[in-house]
């Protein structure tokens, strides 16, 4: 038939592989970000494995490990480590398959002998294998292209702005949504610092992907208050390098920033001074779990 030549390139495995690639290319933005999805999964997997190891051997990791030690350990769930691991996970199996499939011994019928006829037969089988490998090569090239695209966005430096000082007047701090120095709805991390009873208290305001504004202390329940910085897709703890999904900001627990019961209006974000002082004091004393919930 007219399309019989496709049999030279496609069998069922190649068909399913190309179908999956077409679905990725023509699907939604979430489906298309293959490298990012795998990288995100590897980041969480590596982080959970490391923490579970500490739990298993009963090492209270955060209280006794220095920032330098955690920066070393945190490398294993950093963007740099996971982006290269993603390449290994996605690309190496395809390359190994290509090499092994093409170089596999060619079964030659016994009546071929060892002359030119045998060599021509082996050559024809090798060429047929090359044609059937073409869809696999296309997918491998797509993976490499997607990886370079993902790598370019993953190696960006963390954004860690200097906290802007605010003056405490009364029991509530009012932060305008838009000011000459900031726009809280620009998707960037906005840090602030206030001095209450001699303590410099850091907190931040951030617009989550759903458009809502959230206010949190620049600290979590379990780490020393080194604060957070923003990457392209996560808020990152500067002590243990844990990546926090933007969507989870505002939820208490683990290495998530400690949420504040802020009131958000059309004009400003309002935070109570007594809540800031109580939670920050607990952070400094290492007793956050007594007051967060």
pLDDT of residue 166: 94
Cβ-based burial of 219 (10 A; exposed 0-12, middle 13-18, buried ≥19): buried
pLDDT of residue 145: 80
**Within-domain flag for 278:** yes
**Under 8 Å between Cβ of 98 and 133:** yes
Q: Give me the mean pLDDT over the 241-252 stretch.
A: 87
- Residues 89 and 209 placed together within one structural domain of the fold: no
pLDDT tens digits for range 100-112: 988 999 998 888 7
- Residues 80 and 138 placed together within one structural domain of the fold: yes
State how far the Cα of 182 lies from the Cα of 190, in Å rounded to an integer.
Answer: 8
Cβ-based burial of 150 (10 A; exposed 0-12, middle 13-18, buried ≥19): buried
Report yes or no on whether pTM surpasses 0.75: no
The string of DSSP codes covering 267-281 is: SEEEEEHHHHHHHHH
Cβ-based neighbours of 19, under 8 Å, separated by 6 or more:
none
- Residues 51 and 126 placed together within one structural domain of the fold: yes
**Within-domain flag for 224:** yes
∠234-240-243 over CA atoms, to 5°?
15
Pull the structure tokens for residue 101.
């499939």
**Within-domain flag for 159:** no
- Residues 33 and 128 placed together within one structural domain of the fold: yes
Question: Helix, strand or coil for residue 244?
Answer: strand
pLDDT tens digits for range 137-171: 888 888 888 777 766 555 456 899 999 999 898 99
Q: Which residue has the tokens 């200097």?
A: 162
Of 154, 177, 199, which residue is a domain's last?
154
**Under 8 Å between Cβ of 283 and 258:** yes
Top pLDDT among 32 and 9 is at 9
pLDDT of residue 7: 58
- Residues 122 and 144 placed together within one structural domain of the fold: yes
Give the chain's domain count: 2
3, pLDDT greater than 80: no
Of 130, 154, 178, which residue is a domain's last?
154
Q: How confident is the model at residue 135 (pLDDT cuts 50, 70, 90)?
A: confident
Residues 5, 9, 12, 18: what is their CA dihedral angle, to the nearest 10 degrees?
Answer: -120
- Residues 95 and 148 placed together within one structural domain of the fold: yes
Q: How confident is the model at residue 28 (pLDDT cuts 50, 70, 90)?
A: very low
H helices, E strands: number in the chain: 8, 11
- Residues 114 and 228 placed together within one structural domain of the fold: no
240, pLDDT greater than 80: no
* Max Cα-Cα span within the chain: 98
Q: How confident is the model at residue 254 (pLDDT cuts 50, 70, 90)?
A: confident
pLDDT of residue 80: 74
- Residues 34 and 115 placed together within one structural domain of the fold: yes
Sheet containing 213-220: give its strands across. Answer: 164-165, 190-196, 199-207, 213-220, 257-259
Domain that holds residue 81: 4-154
CATH number, domain containing residue 253: 2.102.10.10
pLDDT of residue 62: 52
Nearest to 249 by CA among 262, 235, 263: 235
User: What average pLDDT does the chain have?
Assistant: 80
- Residues 268 and 196 placed together within one structural domain of the fold: yes
- Residues 127 and 11 placed together within one structural domain of the fold: yes
- Residues 35 and 107 placed together within one structural domain of the fold: yes
31, pLDDT greater than 50: no
208, pLDDT greater than 90: yes
Of 126, 154, 182, which residue is a domain's last?
154
**Within-domain flag for 175:** yes
User: Which H/E stretch holds residue 201?
Assistant: strand 199-207
Q: How confident is the model at residue 115 (pLDDT cuts 50, 70, 90)?
A: confident
- Residues 84 and 223 placed together within one structural domain of the fold: no
pLDDT of residue 220: 87
pLDDT tens digits for range 46-86: 777 776 776 676 655 555 555 566 667 667 766 678 778 88
Out of 51-55, 162-166, 182-186, 195-199, least confident range: 51-55
Which percentage of the chain shows pLDDT scores above 90? 33
**Within-domain flag for 41:** yes
Nearest to 225 by CA among 255, 189, 194, 270: 255
Top pLDDT among 52 and 237 is at 237
């Amino acid at each position: 038939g007219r399309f019989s030549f496709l049999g030279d390139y496609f069998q069922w495995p190649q068909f399913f592989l190309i179908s999956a690639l077409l679905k990725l290319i023509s699907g939604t933005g979430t489906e298309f970000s293959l490298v990012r999805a795998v990288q995100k999964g590897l980041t969480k997997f590596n982080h959970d494995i490391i923490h579970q190891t500490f739990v298993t051997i009963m090492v209270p990791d955060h209280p006794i490990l220095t920032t330098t030690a955690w920066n070393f350990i945190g490398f294993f769930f950093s963007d740099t480590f996971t982006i290269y691991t993603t390449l290994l996970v996605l690309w190496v199996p395809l390359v190994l398959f290509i090499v092994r499939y093409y170089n596999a011994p060619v079964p030659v019928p016994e009546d071929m002998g060892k002359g030119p006829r045998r060599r021509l037969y082996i050559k024809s089988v090798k060429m047929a294998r090359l044609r059937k490998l073409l869809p696999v090569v296309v997918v491998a090239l797509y993976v490499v292209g997607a990886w370079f695209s993902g790598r370019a966005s993953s190696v960006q430096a963390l954004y860690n702005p200097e906290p802007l000082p605010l003056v405490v007047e009364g029991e509530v701090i009012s932060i305008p949504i838009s000011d000459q120095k900031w726009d809280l709805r620009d998707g960037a991390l906005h840090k602030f610092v206030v001095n209450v009873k001699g303590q410099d208290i850091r907190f931040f305001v951030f617009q989550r992907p759903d458009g809502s504004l959230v206010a949190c202390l620049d600290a979590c329940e379990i780490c020393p208050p080194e604060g957070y910085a923003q990457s392209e897709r996560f808020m990152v703890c500067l002590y243990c390098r844990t990546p926090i999904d933007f969507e989870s900001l505002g939820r208490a627990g683990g290495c998530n920033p400690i949420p504040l019961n802020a009131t958000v209006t059309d004009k400003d974000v309002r935070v109570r001074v007594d809540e800031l002082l109580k939670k920050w004091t607990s952070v400094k004393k290492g007793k956050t779990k007594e007051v967060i919930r």
